[in-house]
């Protein structure tokens, strides 16, 4: 994290930026993290990623399938059963995302404290720049 990098311009035309923007999504990140532990059925994912609607889950899973992150395996049974599993590519993505989740878990207290401190600052309620 010490090297000065000239490439550090995230051009809007760069396709990897679009990709990053998609990954860096609330639900996407959570779903991949959850699937990192192994294949799950639709409802299982939904239970673990608590709060997501069926619609959004289906949409996101579809997109992840399209991007080669997860595979969708549908068993022709009754009642229907569909399993989602990370691909190799998906697992490679799960690693950095898992690191991110760990960061969130490990630093939430600091964030909360910083937030509280910020909100208590006189500048945050009234006048802006303290100059």
Partner DNA sequence: CAGAATCCGTGTAGATACTG
Partner DNA sequence: CAGTATCTACACGGATTCTG
Binding footprint of its own copies on the chain (CB under 8 A): 1, 3-5, 8-12, 15-17, 19-21, 23-26, 28-30, 33-34, 36-38, 47-51, 65-69, 74, 76, 89, 91-105, 107-108, 110-115, 117-119, 124, 129-131
Residue 70 found at the interface with DNA (CB under 7 A): no
**Nearer residue to DNA within complex by CB, 27 or 93:** 27
d(CA 131, CA 115): 21
39 near 91, Cβ under 8 Å? Answer: no
- Alpha-helix residue ranges (DSSP H) falling in 41-130: 42-48, 54-66, 88-120, 122-125
Residue 72 found at the interface with DNA (CB under 7 A): yes
57 three-state secondary structure: helix
CB of 15 to its own copies, least distance (A): 5
Which residues have C-beta within 8 Å of that of residue 81, sequence separation ≥ 6? 41, 74, 75
Residue 47 binds which one of its own copies, DNA, none, with CB within 5 to 8 A depending on kind? its own copies
d(CA 98, CA 58): 22
Q: Which residues bind DNA (CB under 7 A)?
A: 25-27, 41-44, 51-56, 58-62, 72, 74, 79-82, 84, 128
């Amino acid at each position: 994290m010490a090297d000065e990098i000239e490439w550090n311009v995230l051009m809007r035309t760069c396709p990897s930026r679009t990709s990053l923007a998609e990954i860096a999504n609330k639900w996407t990140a959570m779903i991949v993290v959850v699937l990192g532990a192994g294949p799950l059925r639709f409802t299982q994912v939904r239970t673990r990623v608590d709060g997501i609607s069926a619609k959004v889950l289906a949409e996101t899973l579809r997109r992840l399938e399209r991007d080669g992150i997860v595979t969708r395996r549908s068993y022709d049974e009754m009642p229907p059963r569909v399993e989602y599993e990370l691909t190799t590519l998906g697992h490679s993505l799960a690693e950095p995302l898992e690191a991110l989740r760990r960061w969130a878990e490990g630093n939430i207290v600091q964030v909360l404290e910083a937030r509280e401190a910020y909100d208590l600052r006189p500048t945050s309620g009234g006048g802006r720049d303290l100059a």
